């Protein structure tokens, strides 16, 4: 068994200061419920069958999803769509998907498809997802082809109706169009294209889609509304407030909306400076809170309508991620803090966007025949990327009880974040994130912070702790991470190695290195 002290030694860490941590033994009223599928995935639709497998199951991808399901008690949820949902058309009887791609470039080695034509088999491939998976699927709005949207929705529903009950696959919702607020940029709508015009078009399409998908205000399958690429947070623009102000919920199909989805990326990874600067900016505590907090008015507006609010498409830096940044170990540190802080704002799930070869992927599910950073030919087998560890940590921290709630801890630090997790209202765990970057170019010794643990009351307080750590050599590494001594960087996507944890006492506290995540489990 390796201890945190061992890792501190090999990295020549020095404890610069201590931080007091005060934790309530029972969940405060401000603690929020958090779903075991809080981290879910948005899949670029054009190469959807590469992820799960077309005629047979993609075993590697199935395994990495089952890892999460085993820890959380349920698999991640899926949103299938994004840009290519607005480039997809349905052709009855088509056996093999027909796609047209732009030529790859060094900056975009895996471009999105310019045209996608699918048949029934494209939707039937969902049977290769883990049992119990919930799916939201997008249909084409951009091309203003009512027949196309109708046929797609009809094919999606027919596929799910044909799945055997043993698969327990649920079509949660249909999404009509992706980022309609950006349609005018590509000349797909005349300028200006207003939120009022969008609502009118959505209602027309939704009437046809609901007929095809058998959607009603009480059906299991409903609509996701929104899916905007940005928000001006006002009643006159593309935002939830704009949707509601223009009467979308008053329409017949508007009453079939269960969820409002918005999209958020953290900026660009192309012009942010040195790699170390870009990674440090990404995972910094203030940056995460600034990006997410901008959506507080939108979330409040949605909650006031008793609707669910999700980030239906999100990730680190846009344009498929920043090279050597979005695929770095620092992205794992960023994602852990990002998802838990999002829960505090009322975001029920975050769907991290993934596409074949994208730099910000949690998983690369198939063999890549071109390097994701350059246009030079290179073969890379299926593998997990550092951000996948964030999904593992989140799943384990939340657990499978179905009664987990979480609250952010108040820490006097600009680089330390902490969250207390409660099971049925009783303190179970605490998660700590140190976002101070430690890089291959860092010339000073690795800092470490001591956490002095305490409780708001002493009656029945735990005295023992078990500490599990995400160990990272450097924030700019792309591999070599371990969670509790185990690795997921294996040929089959399954975990390897023996679990390594540190046993300690509450009185002794916890040391946390720069660029590290630790999960503390409390014991009597």
Give residue-wise pLDDT tens across range 340-385: 999 999 999 999 999 999 999 999 999 998 766 665 567 789 999 9
Domain boundary among 373, 398, 423: 398
**Statement to judge: residues 122 and 257 lie in one domain:** yes
Let me know whether 414 and 378 are in one domain. no
Examine the domain organization and report whether 146 and 261 are in the same domain. Answer: yes
- β-pair type (510-513, 447-455): antiparallel
What is the rounded distance in angstroms from the CA atom of residue 253 to the CA atom of residue 79?
20
- Check whether residue 137 and residue 95 sit in a common domain: yes
Q: Are residues 136 and 9 in the same domain?
A: no
How far apart are alpha carbons 156 and 459 in whole angstroms?
A: 55
Mark which of 398, 418, 449 sits at the end of a domain: 398
Final residue before a domain boundary, out of 349, 377, 398: 398
Residue 11: pLDDT over 50 = no
The CATH number of residue 25's host domain is 2.60.40.1180
192 and 335 together in one domain: yes
Other CB atoms closer than 10 Å to residue 484's CB: what's the count? Answer: 22
Q: Are residues 271 and 209 in the same domain?
A: yes
Q: Which residues of 331-363 are buried (b: 16+ CB within 10 A; e: fewer)?
A: bbbbbbbbbbbbbbbbbbbbbbbbbbbbbbbbb
CATH number at residue 168: 3.20.20.80
For the chain, the C-alpha Rg in angstroms (whole number) is 23
Identify whether the C-beta of residue 418 lies closer than 8 Å to the C-beta of residue 431: yes
- For residue range 85-134, list pLDDT tens digits in order: 999 999 999 989 999 998 888 788 899 999 999 999 999 999 999 999 99
Residues 196 and 309 in one domain: yes
Q: Are residues 130 and 242 in the same domain?
A: yes
**Domain total in the chain:** 2
> What band does 7 get if pLDDT is binned at 50, 70 and 90?
very low
Q: What domain range is 69 assigned to? A: 35-398
24, 46: one domain: no
Q: Are 483 and 377 in contact (CB under 8 A)?
A: no
Peptide bond into 479 cis (omega under 30): no
DSSP H or E run through 154? helix 146-162
- The structure tokens listed for 123 are 């939707």
Using an 8 Å Cβ cutoff, are 150 and 123 in contact?
no
Q: Does one domain contain both 276 and 392?
A: yes
Asked if residue 1 has pLDDT above 70, the reply is no
* Residues 336, 461 within the same domain: no
Query: Which pTM value belongs to this model?
Result: 0.96
């Amino acid at each position: 068994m390796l201890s945190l002290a061992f890792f501190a030694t090999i990295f020549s860490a020095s404890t610069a200061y201590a931080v007091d941590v005060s934790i309530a033994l029972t969940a405060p009223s401000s603690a929020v419920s958090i779903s075991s599928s809080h981290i879910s995935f948005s899949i670029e639709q054009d190469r959807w069958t590469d992820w799960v497998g077309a005629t047979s199951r993609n075993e590697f991808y199935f395994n990495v999803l089952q890892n999460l399901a085993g820890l959380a008690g349920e698999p991640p949820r899926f949103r299938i769509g994004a840009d290519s949902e607005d480039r997809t058309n349905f052709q009855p009887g088509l056996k093999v998907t027909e796609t047209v791609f732009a030529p790859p470039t060094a900056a975009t080695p895996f471009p999105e498809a310019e045209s996608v034509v699918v048949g029934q088999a494209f939707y039937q491939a969902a049977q290769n997802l883990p049992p119990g998976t919930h799916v939201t699927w997008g249909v084409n709005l951009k091309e203003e082809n009512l027949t196309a949207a109708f046929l797609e929705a009809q094919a999606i529903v027919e596929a799910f109706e044909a799945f055997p009950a043993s698969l327990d696959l649920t079509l949660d919702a249909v999404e009509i169009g992706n980022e309609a607020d950006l349609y005018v940029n590509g000349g797909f709508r005349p300028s200006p294209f207003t939120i009022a015009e969008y609502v009118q078009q959505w209602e027309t399409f939704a009437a046809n889609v609901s007929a095809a998908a058998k959607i009603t205000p009480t059906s299991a399958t409903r609509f996701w509304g929104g899916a905007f690429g940005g928000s001006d947070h006002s009643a006159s623009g593309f935002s939830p407030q704009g949707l509601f102000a223009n009467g979308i919920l008053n329409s017949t199909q508007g009453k079939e909306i269960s969820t409002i989805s918005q999209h958020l990326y953290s900026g660009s990874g192309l012009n942010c400076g040195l790699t170390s600067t870009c990674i440090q900016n990404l995972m910094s505590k203030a940056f995460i809170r600034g990006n997410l907090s901008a959506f507080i008015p939108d979330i409040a507006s949605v909650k006031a309508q008793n609707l669910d609010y999700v980030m239906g498409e999100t990730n680190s830096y846009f344009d498929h991620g920043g090279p050597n940044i979005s695929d770095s170990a620092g992205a794992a540190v960023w994602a852990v803090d990002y998802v838990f802080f999002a829960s505090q704002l009322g975001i029920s799930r975050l769907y991290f966007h993934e596409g074949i070869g994208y730099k910000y992927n949690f998983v690369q599910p198939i063999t890549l025949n071109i390097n994701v950073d350059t246009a030079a030919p290179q073969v890379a087998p299926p593998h997990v990327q550092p951000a996948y560890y964030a999904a593992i940590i989140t799943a384990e921290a939340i657990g499978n009880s179905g009664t987990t709630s979480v609250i952010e801890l108040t820490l006097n630090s600009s680089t330390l974040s902490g969250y207390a997790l409660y099971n049925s209202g009783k303190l179970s765990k605490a998660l700590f994130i140190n976002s101070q970057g430690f890089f291959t170019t860092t010339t000073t010794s690795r800092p470490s912070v001591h956490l002095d643990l305490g409780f708001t009351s002493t009656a029945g307080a735990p005295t023992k702790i078990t500490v599990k750590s995400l160990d990272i050599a450097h924030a700019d590494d792309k591999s070599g991470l371990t969670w509790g001594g185990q690795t997921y960087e294996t040929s089959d996507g399954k975990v390897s190695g023996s679990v390594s944890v540190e046993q300690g006492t509450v009185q002794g506290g916890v040391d946390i290195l720069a660029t590290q995540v630790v999960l503390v489990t409390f014991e009597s």
